Amino acid sequence: MFYDFQNITEPIYVPDVYISDLLCIEDAGDGDLRFVFITRQRSIYGGDEHVVVARLVAPATTVHRSIQKTMKHMNFRCCGAVRALAN
């Protein structure tokens, strides 16, 4: 695994959270975006239900870099959409 930063520490345990979908992206103000993630689980009332399991807030610039890193990691070629986000 390659990191762009040096001296990364994890002073407390940060658990993984399994998500099955992205519910929405909200404007959190000051150039930040809030991603609301959900997962599907069995309801105690029968059937399935969708439960919010994580909210992630990040600056728009970090979201842009994340898109670029994700595309590179998955060996996708840029179609121009990522360049459009930079403008």
Model pTM?
Answer: 0.76
Residue-level pLDDT at 34 = 98
Over residues 47-81, the pLDDT tens digits come to 999 999 999 999 999 999 898 888 888 888 766 55
Average pLDDT score over the chain: 87
Structural domain boundaries in the chain: 21-86
Residue-level pLDDT at 69 = 86
More confident residue, 64 or 83: 64
Burial (0-12, 13-18, 19+ Cβ within 10 Å), 33: middle
Task: Determine the Cα–Cα distance for residues 25 and 8; give it in Å rounded to an integer.
Answer: 28
Span 5-25, mean pLDDT?
91
